Structure 1
Amino acid sequence: MRDERDRILRSLETLRTGKAPLPPGLRGRQLCFLHIGKTAGTSVQHALFETMQGTAILHESLQSFDTVTAAEVAINDLVIGHFGYQHVAKLRGDRYLMTFLRDPVERVISNYHFLRSGSPVSGYSQRATGAAKALTLSEFLRCDEPGVRMVTENFQAKALAFDIRPEHQHTIVDLHRQAAHNLATFDFVGIVEYFSESLLALSDAIGREVPLKRMNAASERSSAATVSSDDLDLIRRLNAVDIALYAAARTRFEQTILPTLRSCDTATARAGTADRGWPRHRPDILRPLVRAMPA
């Protein structure tokens, strides 16, 4: 109860002292960032903190989203956290929902090294953290303990379908179908492998710059190029649903968002109006493309 009271008081204090205006592209909607682990979310998070400075912000852990109330969430302009799609019901109806996806093979490898070196330990990640510190990558991938499988198998799809935690997996009947259906409800889906382009597209969509930041990169991270072919094959088998979702989202980004950004950049350069305020592109064109991306 004390945590809930403190969160409400922080948000109300922002409202009392006069909050900053929201980015015009949001049109008064609540900006909600579903942060999937090891998808550049910490960098996005800090960028959004800067973009939304002076507004009411709710930033909580996965466990806290289990107990936070919809009324408490409603008084905030920016909602950020490692929440699962099950918690989306607590967000305002007038929301702008966003997330980022990453190449699933690279995400699993990065997650392993992050758990070994710098991950904060929470109740639901404790087993995975302990296993990562005790096992080689090859052993970690072959560990069947549910707390480890949580991060090695279709992590992104589980977050999108309902929740990543083992105790919630029984509620997911068809992982691919549920994750794809829910992803289609997002207003924006960034692609880590197009990180700067994703932030540029997001900036244009909401009508205010989201600055490029790179934080929380695992210092011991190895790329897929250093992993054995057997381990890579296993990662791909374990993450078949993640790979399908990511491939569809990336293809749509490449076919719709990138050409629009590049054509607008060319037009802006020809007009000699580069770097003269925000938005630099055409939000009226970009917003519907971003909204349709996950389909």
Structure 2
Amino acid sequence: MHKRIVVFLHIPKTGGVTMRRLLDRQYSKQRVFRYPAEKPMQALGQLTSAERQNIRCVYGHFRYGVHRHFHRRAVYITMVRDPLDRIVSMYYFIRSRPQNKLHHLAKRMSFSQFVTSRDPRIRAALNNHQTRMISGKRHPDLKKAIENIKRDFVVVGITDMYPNQCL
């Protein structure tokens, strides 16, 4: 029987980099699949069967459901954050990173303009993003998110409750 896989669903601006560092300390490099932002299906397709079976942990920015690509039982972990705090953090993060694909838009916007923007690229990151990621759906589905949490999540951490020594 294949060991189950730990899947860290990294919701942006929830303390996920800290969690990824903790996972990197727990698992050897060969046992972690860092889900790439660009062309993830191509990266998954390049794994050999042996490499895929060797993986014990997957993490990255993706919606619920990535475990299906590994064909075995998975347990999920994630971090959530107060939605307003997450959006404020995201706004300043995007503005401070010229390499971010939304930087050119956000750098010209006040916070109020940012949160009321009609641009679909900004709206997607603001509109119940945590619920969409946990539900695995394109549109927020709280019922499905709760169902997924009850069935497959062993940890849903709260960013504000991280011990100070982790940050």
Could you tell me the TM-score, scaled by structure 2's length?
Answer: 0.82
Structure holding more helix per residue: 1
Q: For 2:157 and 2:85, locate their aligned partners in 1 and report how far apart those are by CA, in whole Å.
A: 16
**1:81 deviation in Å?**
1.0
Q: Compared with structure 1, are the counterparts of its residues 56 and 115 closer, same or farther at alpha carbon in structure 2 (3 Å cutoff)? A: same
Count how many residue pairs are aligned between Structure 1 and Structure 2.
Answer: 161
**1:65 deviation in Å?**
2.9
Higher relative contact order (CA 8 A, sep 6+): 2
In structure 1, the residue matched to 2:160 is 193
Note the alpha carbon deviations across 1:86-121, whole angstroms, 9 max, x for none: 423223423231111111110011011000113753
1:58 corresponds, among 33, 36, 54, to 33
1:56, 1:77 within 8 Å by CA — same for their partners in 2?
yes
Equivalent residue runs for 1:130-141 within 5 Å: 130-141=104-115
Q: Does the alignment pair 1:180 with 2:146?
A: yes
- Identical aligned pairs, as a percentage? 24
- The two structures, once aligned, show a CA RMSD in angstroms of 2.5
2:98, 2:104 within 8 Å by CA — same for their partners in 1?
no
1:66, 1:87 within 8 Å by CA — same for their partners in 2?
no
Note the alpha carbon deviations across 1:248-274, whole angstroms, 9 max, x for none: xxxxxxxxxxxxxxxxxxxxxxxxxxx
Q: Does the alignment pair 1:78 with 2:79?
A: no
Q: Does the alignment pair 1:111 with 2:90?
A: yes
Give the letter for the 2:166 counterpart: K
Give the letter for the 1:58 counterpart: F
Q: Compared with structure 1, are the counterparts of its residues 129 and 73 closer, same or farther at alpha carbon in structure 2 (3 Å cutoff)? A: farther
Structure 1: runs of 5 or more not aligned:
1-26, 164-168, 198-211, 215-295
Structure 2: runs of 5 or more not aligned:
none
Q: Does the alignment pair 1:151 with 2:125?
A: yes
| Secondary structure at 2:148 match in 1 | helix
Q: For 2:65 and 2:26, locate their aligned partners in 1 and report how far apart those are by CA, in whole Å.
A: 27
Give the letter for the 1:133 counterpart: K
Q: For 2:99 and 2:155, locate their aligned partners in 1 and report how far apart those are by CA, in whole Å.
A: 28
Note the alpha carbon deviations across 1:142-168, whole angstroms, 9 max, x for none: 1111101011211111111226xxxxx
Q: For 1:28 and 1:177, locate their aligned partners in 2 and report how far apart those are by CA, in whole Å.
A: 29
Structure holding more strand per residue: 2
1:36, 1:100 within 8 Å by CA — same for their partners in 2?
yes
Give the letter for the 2:116 counterpart: R
| Secondary structure at 1:79 match in 2 | strand
Could you tell me the TM-score, scaled by structure 1's length?
Answer: 0.49
Q: For 1:119 and 1:46, locate their aligned partners in 2 and report how far apart those are by CA, in whole Å.
A: 24
